[in-house]
């Protein structure tokens, strides 16, 4: 029998990055970027599906606008004016609906990033790489945010051309800052849902349930004031309600915020809380599925 | 063929339909959470429209809405639209993807190579989907009667069932086309989504069709859901009789006939094509 050659069979030593160092952070950022690139490549391999998804924010916004226009027989609502200081339903609904696709980013794209790898049959391979499991989730978040941005841009162009929008240009910057803070909190929410996917596997019912509840608690097409008091209070736990109130304050002339308080501080606190809570639950779920050996279970 | 053989043939065909119904109902009941979800959660999808209406109108009735829709009560209008629209969703994603589901389960090859007429398998699938949709729609209706004050009198139950049956027939013609597409192209998901967008925008689910531009009204008038919604709302909200709706019923029957004939033709053609090209087992 031939004796194996020690030189050729010697395993190459790999030093796994551990600890909080600049090199490790760069490596994690690279992993996030590569996950994002991978998702774009998969998505662009199906151009018809990609084009359809770009139009979907517009398709889902139009019924809200047409319904509103039919109800008041024009674009001005006396009752909305009494409630929030602006009667222009098109601008009001449009500024609210902008965030809808991004709720989907948190719930569906991030929440199902782990499950998707399982569908592809690559979850175990990714799990044994020396990167953080969260890089996968954040990579998906990055891709989905970019994807939603394209859809939202298309939505803005069409609605602006067809209806015209009365927005304050000077309010764009603070509105974008509020939007960014909201996205951080939504990322935390997305991490939480992805951890549910690790345990429940087919967690779409939980995701759909949370998505529907978040949709009702977010003042997208109506002000918070029309919700029952309990629902109004519950909405302050999620980032979408304070973000929409804040964005409208900066973007719409004459808009009277339904809630009083510092939106920036509120969103900062929510972002920190949701991200920490999401990561904590994700770690617990990660340890749980590996201990039980249920990672590969479909 | 003797009379006995013919009877035996009919009995065998009915047995295929029955077995398919039993199989699909067993699948549905194996996931009770999914069952409860579809019975309750679609309500959450139209609640934003009700809240929006209350916010911009400031009440439960709108005169501007009445000028176009014929009724000032926008909540029952939206509720009925959404419940009937759930049949569209079930037919597009349930029946339309049923063939793809057989491929996932690894049973498509066996079904297509069995010595029976595939039409009976499809009828079985359609019946089980209709049964499930009706159970979901009924549970949503009960919740809406309790919470949104929709009035249902005994006299309109039978005409409503008749209209819904006509709607289901048309939708299954459409689903047959999707099933044919998934036989050939494997994934008909994008086609189903695109059709969903067409129904979402152009049929009067949340607003009357007259509020749309003329070209969009023409698209809407090609959809079976449009006529079913006009008829059911006329029965339930405007309290009209079935005789006043003969035009909608005739058009619905014509659309159903066209969709079913084209659906069966496409399915049979695609089945033959996939068998000849040997791509049935291709995932």
Nearest CA in chain A to B38: A205
A50, B181, B193, B196 from A43: Cα distances, Å: 6, 21, 16, 21
Give the ipTM.
0.84
B154 band by pLDDT with thresholds 50, 70 and 90: confident
Residue B7: inside a domain: no
pLDDT in tens, A128-176: 888 887 888 888 889 988 998 999 999 999 999 999 888 888 888 999 9
- Parts of chain A with a pLDDT under 50: 1
Mean pLDDT across chain B: 85
In this predicted structure, the answer to whether residue B35 has a pLDDT above a threshold of 90 is no
Instruction: Tell me what pLDDT residue A6 has.
Output: 54
Q: A52, B51: Cβ pair inside 8 Å? A: no
B206 vs A67, A73, A225: nearest CB: A67
Backbone angles phi, psi at A10, to 5 degrees: -75, 130
pLDDT given at position A264 = 92
In a domain, A18, yes or no: no
Number of domains in chain B: 1
pTM above 0.90, yes or no: no
Q: How confident is the model at residue B157 (pLDDT cuts 50, 70, 90)?
A: confident
Q: How far apart are CA B150 and CA B81, in angstroms?
A: 13
Say how far apart CA A107 and CA B116 lie, in whole Å: 44
- Lowest model confidence (mean pLDDT) among A115-124, B76-85, B141-150, B183-192: B183-192
Residue A83: its chain B contacts at CB < 8 A?
Answer: 55
pLDDT tens readout for residues B220-229: 999 999 999 9
Domain count, chain A: 1
Assigned domain for B4 exists: no
Give residue B44's Cα distance to chain centre: 19
On whether residue A1 sits in a domain, the answer given is no
Does residue A84 fall inside a structural domain?
A: yes
Structural domain harbouring B231: 12-277
Which residues of A fall within a CB distance of 8 Å from B190? Answer: 46, 48-49, 52
A66 and B67: CB-CB below 8 Å? Answer: no
Q: Given this model, what pLDDT does residue A7 score?
A: 54
- Name the phi and psi angles at A215, rounded to 5: -65, -40
**What is the pLDDT at residue B77?**
92
pLDDT (0 to 100) of residue A124:
79
Judging contacts by C-beta atoms under 8 Å, the chain B residues touching residue A46 are 190
Among A240-244, B156-160, B187-191, B222-226, whose mean pLDDT is lowest? Answer: B187-191
CA A102 vs. chain centroid, Å, equals: 4
- The average pLDDT across B134-153 equals 82
**What distance in Å separates the CA atoms of residue B204 and residue A121, rounded to the nearest whole number?**
43
Of B95-99, B155-159, B260-264, which range is least confident? B95-99
Residue A17 in any domain: the answer is no
Q: Which domain holds residue A94?
A: 29-292
Residue A210 in any domain: the answer is: yes
- Is B202 in the A-facing interface, judged by CB distances under 8 Å? no
The answer to whether B48 contacts chain A (CB < 8 Å) is: yes
B61 strand-pairing partners: B73
> Are A78 and B51 a contacting pair at CB < 8 A?
no
In a domain, B29, yes or no: yes
Helices A133-162 & A172-200, crossing angle to 10 degrees? 130
Does the residue B227 lie in any domain?
yes
């Amino acid at each position: 029998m031939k004796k194996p050659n020690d030189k050729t069979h010697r395993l190459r030593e790999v030093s796994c990055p551990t600890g909080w160092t600049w090199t490790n952070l760069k490596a994690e950022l690279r992993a996030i970027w590569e996950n994002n690139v991978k998702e774009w490549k998969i998505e662009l391999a199906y151009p018809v599906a990609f084009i359809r998804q770009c139009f979907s924010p517009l398709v889902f916004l139009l019924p809200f606008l047409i319904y509103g226009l039919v109800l008041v027989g024009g674009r001005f609502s006396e009752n909305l004016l009494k409630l929030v200081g602006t009667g222009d339903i098109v601008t009001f609904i449009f500024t609210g609906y902008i965030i809808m696709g991004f709720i989907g980013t948190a719930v569906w794209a991030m929440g199902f990033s782990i499950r998707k790898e399982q569908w592809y049959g690559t979850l175990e391979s990714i799990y044994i790489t020396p990167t953080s499991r969260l890089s996968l989730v954040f990579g998906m978040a990055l891709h989905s945010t970019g994807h939603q941005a394209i859809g939202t841009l298309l939505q803005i162009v069409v609605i602006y051309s067809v209806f015209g929008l009365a927005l304050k240009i000077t309010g764009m910057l603070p509105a974008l800052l509020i939007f960014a803070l909201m996205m951080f909190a939504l990322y935390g929410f997305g991490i939480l849902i992805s951890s549910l996917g690790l345990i429940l596997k087919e967690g779409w019912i939980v995701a759909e349930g949370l998505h529907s509840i978040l949709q009702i608690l977010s003042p997208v097409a109506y002000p918070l004031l029309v919700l029952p008091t309990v629902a109004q209070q519950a909405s302050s736990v999620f980032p979408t309600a304070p973000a929409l109130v804040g964005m409208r304050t900066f973007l719409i002339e004459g808009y009277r915020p339904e809630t009083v308080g510092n939106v920036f501080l509120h969103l900062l606190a929510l972002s920190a809380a949701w991200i920490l809570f999401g990561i904590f639950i994700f770690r617990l779920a990660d340890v749980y599925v590996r201990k039980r050996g249920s990672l590969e279970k479909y | 063929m003797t009379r006995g053989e013919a009877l035996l043939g009919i009995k065998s065909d009915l047995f295929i339909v029955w077995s398919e119904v039993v199989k699909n109902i067993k699948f549905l009941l194996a996931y009770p959470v999914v069952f409860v979800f579809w019975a309750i959660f679609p309500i959450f999808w139209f609640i934003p429209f009700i809240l929006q209406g209350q916010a911009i109108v400031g009440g439960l009735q709108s005169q501007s809405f009445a000028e176009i829709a014929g009724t000032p009560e926008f909540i029952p209008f939206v509720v009925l639209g959404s419940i009937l629209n759930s049949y569209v969703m079930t037919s597009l994603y349930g029946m339309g993807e049923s063939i793809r589901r057989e491929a996932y389960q690894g049973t498509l090859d066996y079904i297509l190579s069995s010595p029976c007429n595939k039409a009976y398998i499809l009828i079985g699938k359609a019946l089980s989907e209709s049964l499930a949709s009706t159970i979901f729609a009924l549970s949503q209706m009960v919740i809406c009667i309790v919470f949104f004050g929709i009035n249902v009198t005994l006299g309109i139950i039978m005409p409503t069932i008749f209209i819904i049956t006509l709607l289901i027939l048309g939708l299954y013609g459409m689903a047959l086309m999707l099933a044919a597409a998934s036989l050939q192209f494997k994934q008909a998901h994008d086609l189903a989504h695109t059709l969903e967008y067409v129904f979402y925008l152009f049929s009067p689910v949340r607003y009357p069709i007259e509020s749309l531009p003329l070209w969009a009204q023409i698209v809407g008038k090609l959809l079976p859901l449009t006529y079913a919604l006009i008829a059911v709302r006329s029965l339930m909200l405007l309290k009209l009789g079935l005789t006043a709706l003969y035009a909608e019923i005739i058009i619905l029957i014509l659309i159903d006939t066209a969709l079913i004939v084209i659906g069966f033709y496409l399915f049979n053609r695609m089945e033959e094509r996939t068998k000849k090209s040997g791509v049935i087992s291709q995932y």
